[in-house]
Structure formats: C-alpha cells, structure tokens
Amino acid sequence: MSTFKIGMIGDYETSIGFKAAGIDTYIAKVPAEAKAMLLALAKEGYGIVFVTEEIASLLEDTIDQVNRDTECAVLIIPSVKGSKGLGKERIKKSVERAVGIDIFKSSQ
C-alpha cells in the first residue's frame, strides 16, 4: 500500500484549520509563488493538494495541468472569506463530462 502526503495552499487564516489537522500548509502571497508551490508539491508526490478559490482562480491552467499530468489531485476549496462557487463549478463540469448530463441541475 502506497502512502501520499496531503497539502494545502492558501491564505494564513484558511490554513490554520488544515495545519491543526496535520496537513502540510503553504501560504502563497502572489500567484507566481502559488504556482511554483503547486508544481513542486505535485512533483514531490503529494496525493492531494487543497487550493483556496482565490488562488485557484488565478491558476486554472496550472491546476488543469497538474490534474492531467500527475497523480496529484488538486481540490478547490473556499477560504474563510466564503465561497465563490469555483470548486462547485469544477466538480459540476467534471461530473457532467464523465456521465454526460448535469446531475446538479435544478428540476424546477
């Protein structure tokens, strides 16, 4: 059984809870720093990296590249400031691509 690490890239306030749970946390202040961190974590064998929506909105191409080309799964999460819906939208698109329909669509 192989093991992998879990990391989180985001702002200080959001990272506190992840750090308390034993997850490796990385604070990114600028997009270039976040991009370098994400690529490094994927290369270092992290299995899951949580990225806050604020950062993810600036790194969509890099996140797609990491999800496509590595075994690392990048998951987008809201920060303590609240959700912008980016994570939910990406999940919706992935599920729709996989099953062919929008299962989140309201029936009304």
pLDDT tens-digit profile of 90-101?
777 766 666 677
Q: What is the pLDDT of residue 91?
A: 73
pLDDT on residue 94: 67
Residue ranges and CATH numbers for the domains of the chain are 5-82 (3.40.50.10580)
Q: Is the pLDDT of residue 103 over 70?
A: no
* Contact by Cβ (8 Å): 26, 67: no
**Angle of the 31-43 helix axis to the 60-69 helix axis, nearest 10:** 0
pLDDT of residue 83 exceeding 80: no
Angle at 39 between CA 32 and CA 10, to 5 degrees: 60
Provide the whole-model pTM: 0.82
Give tens-digit pLDDT for 1-60.
568 899 999 999 999 999 999 999 999 999 999 999 999 999 999 999 999 999 999 999
